[in-house]
Amino acid sequence: MNFFFEVLIGGLLSGVMYALVALGFVMIYKASGVFNFAQGAMVYLAALSVVGCMEKGAPLWLAIILAFVIMTLFGIATEKFVLRKLVNQPPIALFMATIGLAFFIEGLAPMIFGSEPRALELGIVDEPIPWVLDNWNMVISKFDLVAAGVAAVLVATLALFFQYTRIGRALRAVADDHQAALSIGIPLQHIWAIVWGVAGFVALVAGMMWGARNGVQFALTFTALKALPVLILGGFTSVPGAIVGGLIIGASEKLAEIYIPPVMQDLFGGNFGGIEGWFPYVLALLFLLVRPEGLFGEKHIDRV
Amino acid sequence: MLYREAGQFKTTYAADQQIFPIRQDRIGVIALLVVAFIGVPLFASEYWFSAILIPFLIFALAALGLNVLTGYAGQLSLGSAAFMAVGAYAAYNFQLRIEGIPILVSFICAGLTAAGVGILFGLPSLRIKGFYLAVATLAAQFFIVWCLTKFPWLSNNSSSGVISTQRLIIFGHELTTPVEKYLLVLSIVVVMALAAKNMVRSATGRAWMAVRDMDVAASVIGIKLMPTKLLAFAVSSFYCGVAGALYAFCYLGSVEPDGFSLEMSFKILFMIIIGGVGSIMGSFLGAAFILLLPIFLDIALPFFAELFGLPFSSATVSHIQITVFGALIMFFLIVEPHGLARLWQIAKEKLRLWPFPH
């Protein structure tokens, strides 16, 4: 039973990491209706910027600030050169443009900062907490707990930002209806620039957490692939959805990875590891069949 | 001058509904086919067949499949490579398990198998759409590739799931040279492209386009969404499946499941974006563009680097390639969302008036 809980808690904590990336998607979708496939690439770019600046001799705090500046500038450039030109296109075209953007970053970032994998030291060690280990005989990493804390703070800040600030209100208005927002005098372009800046910030936080845990390398872009089932489970527009979805996906995929392969081995023989790769997607897919708008998504009524 | 249509009158409905109603188009297509079937085999080198022409035709077929689904029926899919994998492995297994099955029959069966799997993964499209569906098709991408690696029966118990395809024997004649394989692929692609062209002109195609433009409105005017969408998935996967079988049998000879990666799915998606979403010819143009671009960059980049005296490595080449791909996708979506096919159309309009501007 202890083992079960250990897997469960480990899964929940890694789910928090997925939720961190998923949040970046939700931010942009909520505020601009763009499904930003490039979020994973942005996480990669952010982590690379931090490491790259540190290699040039900057201390950690300066590197983080520089990375934030880079991400913001990048966001503004994206808005100016890509999104603004696609305003009246169908959402699918915007989505495909962000796939292009993802490739663009994935090629450009390593050209600037180098592509070899590197470690990112944040001063938090990835080792089990002794007290938990002694009392319950469970391995729970300090690092995961810190990540969970960071995620919690980030979510709280974002929720407050969306709910109570002027810009937050404007963001929500833009998300509801571009044209209506424009017609009451909300500057759409500024709003989108801000959104991409914020998304860059979220990507930075996620990139540092993931980078510190797994090293800064190209595989960081795959965090986006982990975040997608979280999103469809939680709903594209919901910040709490991203968190809850992340927890569900994280926990269920780890449990599946541990408990399903032996069953399949009994049935078919052979080795059935690697279920983690598709299990979240199939889970999310089955869930969608029951509830197409996701856990916290808004029910959408089509009008002709 | 070249495209003057004056004097071409239609006197019957049949004439009015031809695939190529303009005489110049008909002549052009026939000339193209003559060149492809007779001219190219006479003059092209072996390298051209095995490295450029055969993959071009195969990817064009896969792009055609995706274009049916995404361009005509409006269902975005990110899992086309997985359906190619289904086709490749199904063809291999039909050859392996059924004694004396003709290779073409096993290709068709492979397509049908892929179609079945496609319908299965198309089922969610009845309830979800847009981005949700795009993400859901990723489930197909990861799940299918995983299955092919993990169930040894599918790859005849080979370790890591690599299969080596059987010999290509058609009517007692074994195809070994690249030219013969090229001709086989070309024939299949021509037949299937014509079929697709006809399909999208038919009632089915119009139903797909109605669903694409607005599915609620389509169902209001009496189009049954479920069969229409599932048929789109089936046809699309059939095309991808046959493309996959050809990819394994006529291009590579031995394939592994991991070869049919997400990246390949994206490549096929890029082909239809650049070629033209919702255009049969666009699939061919896009496939040619996406396949030739890396070859061009491979040659051009070192040349330019030398010219400007820049440091250079093969890693840089691949980074530049990815960057250029990404930039091109965004460029096309912004500047010409209808892709190369639209550029060709514009060129035809200009030719119609040439040499007078108005």
Tens of pLDDT along A9-44? Answer: 888 888 888 888 888 888 888 777 788 889 889 999
Contacts of B67 in chain A (CB under 8 A): none
Is B329 within 8 Å of A100 when comparing Cβ atoms? yes
Distance in angstroms (rounded) separating the CA atoms of residues A222 and A21: 10
| Cβ-Cβ contacts under 8 Å, B127 against chain A | 288-289, 292
Q: What is the pLDDT of residues A98-152, one digit of tens each?
A: 999 999 999 999 888 888 888 887 777 767 777 666 666 667 777 878 888 888 8
**Cα of A131 to nearest chain B Cα, Å:** 39
Closest by Cβ to B329, choosing from A96, A105, A303 = A96
Whether residue A86 and residue B76 make contact (CB cut-off 8 A), yes or no, is no
Between CA B260 and CA B114 the distance in angstroms is 14
Strand B163-164 with B254-255, pairing: antiparallel
Using only C-alpha atoms, chain A has a radius of gyration, in whole angstroms, of: 20
Please tell me which of the candidates B214, B319, B326 has its beta carbon nearest to residue A102: B326
Does residue B166 belong to the interface with chain A, where contact is any CB pair within 8 Å?
A: no
Residue B181 pLDDT: 92
The residue whose two tokens read 């991203």 is A242
Interchain CB contact of A218 with B (< 8 Å): no
- Rounded to the nearest angstrom, the gap between the alpha carbon of residue B63 and the centroid of all alpha carbons in its chain is 2
Chain B contact present for A104, CB below 8 A: yes
Partner-chain contact B152 A236, CB within 8 Å? no
Give residue A132's pLDDT. 67
Binned at pLDDT 50, 70 and 90, residue A300 comes out as low
CB distance from A233 to chain B under 8 Å?
A: no
Contact state of A106 with B324 under an 8 Å Cβ cutoff = no
Phi (first) and psi of residue B8, to 5 degrees:
-95, 95
Instruction: Report the percentage of chain A scoring pLDDT > 70.
Output: 92
B120 touches chain A (CB under 8 A): no
A141 phi and psi angles, rounded to 5 deg: -80, 140
Q: Do A277 and B128 lie within an 8 Å CB cutoff?
A: no
- Asked if the model's pLDDT at residue B87 lies above 90, the reply is yes
Residue A228 has pLDDT above 70, yes or no: yes
- Cβ contact B139–A111 (<8 Å): no
The tokens of A116 are what? 């070899």
ipTM of predicted assembly, 2 dp: 0.86
Residue A159 pLDDT level (bands cut at 50, 70, 90): confident
pLDDT value of residue B1? 59
Give the residue with greater pLDDT, B103 vs B21: B103
Tokens encoding A60: 């950690």
Under the banding of pLDDT at 50, 70 and 90, the label for residue B261 is very high
A278 touches chain B (CB under 8 A): yes
